[in-house]
Structures are given as structure tokens and as C-alpha cells.
């Protein structure tokens, strides 16, 4: 079975259990913390993915990280996953849990890349655009700044991308001018 399917099933089960135990937001905080820790600390990700490190050592690391601030449900989940030698999937499960949480709560996550920090008025217009595209009322806008765009913006919603950047328009013009329509093809 593919790693994505396994991660998706574990995440879905954890979401359902967290809903049942009224601990969905606490478990989400733990999953967000795990993803952030792994992105900030490469050694943690390597430890979880290593076939050399035994499952009990991985569990000790996770318990040390989450013992004080983690939810009991999260710690029990980590225990089950590591004992089944699936700790290498924990980061994928955490990311999939975030997606399942957003799906459960009707939250649309969109990524906006601009060349400058946007104002509140522009933010509201982008949020309205995302609501129109997705049909969902709750929107989380992840803003990034990239000076390589020269100007304009790139908005990603699910698998759709609205690219209104000057750099992409210049590339399109360059491609258009590279083809000489007036030259004979003989």
C-alpha cells in the first residue's frame, strides 16, 4: 500500500477519534508542532525516518518532546504508530491531519505570493476571490513574498493557480517573440 494511502488512513482515524473525544483542536496543535519541529530540526525528521533507530528510541524522543504540552490522545497515537514501525510516516500523517482538519471544518487554504506585504484591503479582496473559487466561507491565506515576480501576484487554491505576475507575462512575451511568424519556413 502506498505511503500516502497509509498516512491518509491514519490521519482520518485520528481526526475521527479526536472528534469523538472532543480533542480535535488540541491534537491539531500537536500535529502543527510536530511539523514545525521537524522543519526547524532536521535531526528529528532523520531520526523518525531512520531504519537504524529502534521504535522505542523514537517513542522516547516523541514523549520527551510532547510529554508536557501534548495531548494524551496524541501521545497514545504516537505510541501505536511507532510500535507498528510506522514512525517514518508521522510527518506525512501530521500534514494529512492538517488537511483533514481543514476539510472537516470547511476551511480553504490558499497560498498568495506577492512582491510586497499586502494591505488589509487587498487581503480582503484575495479572500473574497478564494471564497468565490472554492465555495467555502472560511479561508486561510498563507502569504509569501518573492521579489523574483517583479510585480503582480500568484494565487494558488488547491490545484488551481492564478498567475498574474510580471515575470510570467515577460516569459510569455519572450516565447512569443522567439517564434518568428514572418520568416519563411522553407
Q: What residue has cell string 498574474?
A: 164
Question: Is the pLDDT reported for residue 1 higher than 90?
Answer: no
107 touches 113 (CB < 8 A): no
pLDDT single digits (tens) 10-62:
999 999 999 999 999 999 999 999 999 999 999 999 999 999 999 999 999 99
Q: Which pLDDT value is given to residue 186? A: 60
Q: Which pLDDT value is given to residue 177? A: 80
Q: Taking the CB of residue 182, how many other CB atoms lie within 10 A of it?
A: 4
**pTM, rounded to two decimals:** 0.80
pLDDT single digits (tens) 76-124:
999 999 999 999 999 999 999 999 999 999 999 999 999 899 999 999 9
Name all domains of the chain by residue range, CATH numbers in brackets. 3-103 (1.10.520.20), 107-178 (no CATH)
CA atoms within 13 Å, Cβ hemisphere of 57: 10
Question: Is the pLDDT reported for residue 183 higher than 80?
Answer: no
Amino acid at each position: 500500500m502506498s505511503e500516502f494511502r497509509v498516512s491518509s488512513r491514519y490521519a482520518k482515524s485520528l481526526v475521527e477519534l479526536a472528534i469523538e473525544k472532543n480533542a480535535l483542536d488540541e491534537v491539531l496543535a500537536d500535529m502543527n508542532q510536530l511539523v514545525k519541529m521537524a522543519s526547524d530540526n532536521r535531526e528529528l525528521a532523520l531520526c523518525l525516518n531512520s531504519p537504524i533507530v529502534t521504535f522505542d528510541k523514537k517513542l522516547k524522543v516523541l514523549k520527551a518532546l510532547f510529554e508536557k504540552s501534548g495531548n494524551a490522545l496524541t501521545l497514545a497515537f504516537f505510541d501505536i504508530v511507532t510500535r507498528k514501525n510506522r514512525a517514518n510516516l508521522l510527518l506525512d500523517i501530521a500534514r494529512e491531519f492538517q488537511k483533514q482538519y481543514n476539510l472537516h471544518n470547511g476551511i480553504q487554504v490558499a497560498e498568495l505570493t506577492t512582491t510586497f506585504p499586502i494591505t488589509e484591503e487587498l487581503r480582503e479582496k484575495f479572500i473574497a476571490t478564494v471564497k468565490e473559487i472554492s465555495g467555502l466561507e472560511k479561508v486561510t491565506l498563507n502569504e509569501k513574498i518573492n521579489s523574483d515576480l517583479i510585480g503582480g501576484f500568484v494565487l494558488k487554491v488547491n490545484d488551481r493557480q492564478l498567475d498574474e505576475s510580471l515575470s510570467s507575462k515577460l516569459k510569455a512575451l519572450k516565447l512569443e517573440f522567439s517564434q518568428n511568424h514572418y520568416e519563411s519556413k522553407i
